[in-house]
């Protein structure tokens, strides 16, 4: 390191310390206004803006005709915008407790629906239950069901119709009309 670069480094370091002492408080208040309710993120943004000022200190020091406050505020505003864009591009983060609680409610509703339908299916005859399971749960076609069970396709259509009506009646007994 030559004496010129040592002087430049010392000047940049002194410039940065002065910048930090003079502008950090105002910059933090400004950023807190941009990210209300999140003081930690505001502090991180201020630190990042000051870090960028430290990196750019030699050029900022040389070209600074007035106060570099406008440059700092612009950098901070751009950092806030960047963090918002990044957050918008990512899925929303949910705390584990809330996520498991929400999942439990969804699971409870799904489980309840499954239990209700299973009980209604249990009330059907074996032939009707088998037709509905193959048709609606396994997505088999009428022709495939007919071939698998060795019955005519017309019988599959008829059983499907009667099994659906019987299932609807069993579900209505439980109070479900959908």
Integer Cα distance of 142 and 138 in angstroms: 12
Alpha-helical (H) ranges within the chain are 3-34, 39-55, 57-63, 69-89, 96-122, 126-132, 142-149, 153-173
pLDDT score, position 55 = 83
Decide: helix, strand or coil at residue 152.
coil
Predicted local distance difference test score (pLDDT) of residue 3: 39
**Tell me, what's the pLDDT at 161?**
92
Residues of the chain with pLDDT under 50: 1-8
Percent of the chain surpassing pLDDT 90: 21
pTM over 0.85: no
45-87 tens-digit pLDDT: 999 998 888 887 777 766 656 678 888 899 999 999 998 888 7
pLDDT on residue 117: 80
Cα–Cα distance measured from residue 78 to residue 34, given in angstroms and rounded to the nearest whole number: 11
């Amino acid at each position: 390191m030559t004496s010129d670069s040592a002087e430049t480094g010392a000047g940049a370091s002194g410039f940065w310390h002065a910048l930090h002492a003079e502008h950090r408080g105002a910059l933090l208040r400004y950023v807190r206004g941009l990210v209300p309710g999140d003081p930690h993120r505001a502090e991180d943004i201020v630190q990042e803006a000051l870090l960028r000022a430290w990196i750019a200190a030699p050029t900022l020091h040389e070209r600074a005709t007035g106060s570099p406050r406008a440059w700092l505020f612009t950098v901070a505003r751009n950092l806030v915008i960047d963090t918002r864009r990044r957050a918008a591009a990512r899925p929303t983060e949910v705390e584990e407790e809330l996520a498991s609680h929400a999942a439990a409610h969804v699971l409870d509703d799904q489980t309840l629906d499954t239990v209700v339908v299973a009980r209604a299916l249990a009330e059907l005859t074996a032939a009707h239950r088998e037709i509905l399971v193959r048709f609606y749960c396994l997505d088999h076609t009428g022709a495939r069901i007919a071939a698998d069970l060795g019955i005519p396709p017309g019988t599959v259509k008829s059983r499907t119709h009667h099994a659906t009506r019987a299932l609807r009646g069993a579900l209505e007994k439980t109070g479900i009309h959908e």
